[in-house]
Structure 1
């Protein structure tokens, strides 16, 4: 199992969570699709559920909410980028042209976090670990394997994430228009212009990719459970990929690596 026990390097995607209209329905859906285990959490943490895969934390699911008088946020997955100092990251995000949506806050004894939007409008989180480093398993079926920024301006977004969080964009040979995000010498994510298969007016966003054994059978199971397909399964350089939507509208991707190829852990 590609278990993660060491802290993620700053800038690396380290956690994902879902804001759902119906938290229990989302927990049931992802349990059946990916084998996750999770239940509604304590009231003092807003019922936040930490889902596990084979006993290791893999993702969070919560009921969406908003301050009084404010509209509810969309049903969506949020990618969190690791930081050694959330306060410093907050200042760097603002200085680089980002917008702080939820200021730095303590999350019990597990960590500190903030939520922001980059200059193109893509929402992301920043996580400073205390007792909780983030995902404890990646790059195996049912776990997170890739995080991708879909944006309207790759130049502006690339400059922002480099300045604010140390993510260095780079071109990828053989993939015109697609960029990697790198922390040091390691590739930790990707970036591209908003793809045409997304609905018109889809805002910039970070998309989570989950590893699966078989993309086609996973998509079939998702559709039977009430989900929908935005991009049917197709073969590409990194494997067999599909972009889908859960029954409540959250968009994500599933990918099966080519036979004999297993991604590295972070």
Structure 2
């Protein structure tokens, strides 16, 4: 098992969550697909569910709630980047040209969070751990394994994430149109150009979950009402696919040929 036993360094993706229009349907879908166990949480936390894989926190699923008079938020997976000081990171995000969507707020004794968009429009969260450190298991079937920025401006993304989080973005060896995100010299994610996505796709962060068999998991997803956006294909890191759950949230699944560091 790839249990996480050390704190996430600032800038490292540490958690992912989904705000679903039908929370229980989403909990049921991902339980059947990945084996997650989760149920709606306390009202004081908006019913947010922490889904467990083999007893370890794997991802969050909450009910989508729109501010009064505003449209409901899009059904998407959000990647959270770790920080040790949410307020300071919020200031750095704004200073670097990002847009604050949800200002820093306390999540009880668990931690502090905010949501922002980079200058190109890709939305991400920030998590300052207190009692809750983030994902407790990664890089095994059913768990988070990769977070990937899709952008139309690698140079701009390099400047923004460098200033806000200390993330380096460098060309990946052997991949002409792919970049690595690094913190302290360690690879913590990737970046791709929007030119590789379907026309009209906005900048975004894509969540990857590991599976032990891409093709059979895609079959299971389709039977449960999911949609295939990119059929399974082989690439340098393994075999992968991009799909959407029945409520429209896109994500990727991959069987890695080489396991990234935990």
- Where does residue 255 of structure 2 map in the other structure? 256
1:141 lines up with 2:138 in the alignment: no
- Where does residue 237 of structure 1 map in the other structure? 236
Shift in Å at residue 262 of structure 1? Answer: 3.0
Q: Give yes or no for contact 1:197–1:231 (8 Å, CA) kept in 2.
A: no
Shift in Å at residue 61 of structure 1? Answer: 0.2
- Where does residue 91 of structure 2 map in the other structure? 91
- Where does residue 208 of structure 1 map in the other structure? 207
Q: Hey, what's the Cα distance between the residues in 2 that align with 1:120 and 1:15? A: 22
What TM-score, normalized to structure 2?
0.98
Shift in Å at residue 159 of structure 1? Answer: 1.1
Shift in Å at residue 195 of structure 1? Answer: 5.0
SS at match of 2:146: strand
Q: Hey, what's the Cα distance between the residues in 1 that align with 2:148 and 2:20? A: 21
What TM-score, normalized to structure 1?
0.97
Cα distance per residue 1:28-50 (max 9 Å; x no partner):
00000000000011111100000
Shift in Å at residue 26 of structure 1? Answer: 0.3
Cα distance per residue 1:100-148 (max 9 Å; x no partner):
0000000000000000000000000000000011000000000000000
Runs of 4+ with >3 A deviation: 195-198
Q: Hey, what's the Cα distance between the residues in 2 that align with 1:54 and 1:130? A: 22
- Where does residue 169 of structure 2 map in the other structure? 169
- For residues 1-266 of structure 1, the aligned pairs below 5 Å read 1-198=1-198, 200-258=199-257, 261-265=258-262
Cα distance per residue 1:234-258 (max 9 Å; x no partner):
1111000100010000000000012
Q: Give yes or no for contact 1:197–1:230 (8 Å, CA) kept in 2.
A: no
Q: Give yes or no for contact 1:150–1:195 (8 Å, CA) kept in 2.
A: no
Shift in Å at residue 264 of structure 1? Answer: 2.1
Aligned residue pair count: 262
Could you tell me which runs of 5 or more consecutive residues in structure 2 were left unpaired when the two chains were aligned: none
Residue 95 and residue 197 in structure 1: after superposition, are their counterparts in 2 closer, same or farther (change >3 A)? closer
Q: Hey, what's the Cα distance between the residues in 1 that align with 2:6 and 2:20? A: 30
